[in-house]
Amino acid sequence: MWMTRRQRQIAGTFLILSLETIALLAGSGCRDKTASHYDRGVTHLDRCEYDQAIEALTKAIKIDAGHVDAYLARGVAYSFEGQHDLAISDCTRAIEIDGEYASAFVERGWAHWRKGDYEATMADCVKAVELDPELSEAYHGLAVAHSEMGDYNSAIAELTKALELDPTCADAYHDRGFVYMDRGLVLRKGDDYDRAIEDFNEVITRLPDCGSAYWGRGEIYSRQGRYNLALADFVKSLEIDPNDVDAYQGRGIVYCELDRYDEAIADHTRAIELDADCYEAYDSRGLAHFRKGDLERGIADFSRAIEMDPNDGAVYLNRAWAYCRNEEYDKAWKDVREAERLGFLVPEALLRELRQAARAKA
């Protein structure tokens, strides 16, 4: 469910959680001969200067091989650099030094999550809760693991617990909003969308420059058919991050629904420029071409999307519609059968149009 595009949203959460850890580390002090290197490393970490942080913290560790906070801080820095095995190693060393260091378990769980090992994330965060039942970040980590494993109810419960412990935590509202959104999509629960909007509203109040909150709220408005509200949120998201592929995608879809096809095509084209592997952008641009009446370009984009992901039956159905309108009925029927094989329900309107064409041909 979430590292694909969705995981990029949640990734920001653990950066915030880790920065909270940094604040705790800075306060721990360790006033000995390692203090200068350690404090400098934490300062670099707080400034997102990860290479310098790693260098300074490594010097602290060379002087004092038992400096638990230096290992944890360096583990955080490695995580920010994408060096997750090294992050796990440093967090494990911190745990070996102090087996009751709950934050070290949480940070190691985060590194496991980034590697896609969600069971390990859950195990570490369960241990953190055992050690410190009041550590909100541990419940947050459990929520991430549950959500990745498709257990939305447990994810929401854990995030709600995290918010009970820390009602000011914007990132917990942020991620609960996305879990509500995901559950609403899977279970078709409209009230989940309303709850998600409430959570995104809370995030925007606390963090007005959080582009992903605008994107999430805009996505829900789009699904609800509230296109003008969705458009405003996608525009705001792009003001905050002009290179947000998801926001271009979302805005392009809204433009298409508002019959603003040229603008839709431009946004999907920009999404492709930013992420050439985004097959959804080809599919969406194909739909805009199709609705504009440019069947050949629509078919070309649908075909490109299918090349990139041959297991999305919805794209076969889109191309089937285009083939049908282009009077390429054999190709349309072939796409219909492939969509059925993939488990997708074929719209009765499409079948009716194809059958009518077959009768006319006979």
Q: Work out the number of other CB atoms within 10 angstroms of the CB of residue 335.
A: 25
- As averages over each run of 10 residues, the pLDDT of the chain (362 residues) reads 33 45 50 77 91 95 93 94 95 96 95 94 97 96 94 96 95 96 84 96 96 97 97 98 97 98 98 97 98 98 98 98 96 97 96 91 70
Query: What does the pLDDT read at residue 33?
Result: 63
293: left (phi over 0), alpha (psi -120 to 50) or beta: left
Structure tokens at 106: 């949480």
Residue 30: the pLDDT is: 45
Query: If one looks up domain 1-149 in CATH, what number appears?
Result: 1.25.40.10
Predicted structure pTM score: 0.84
pLDDT given at position 361? 76
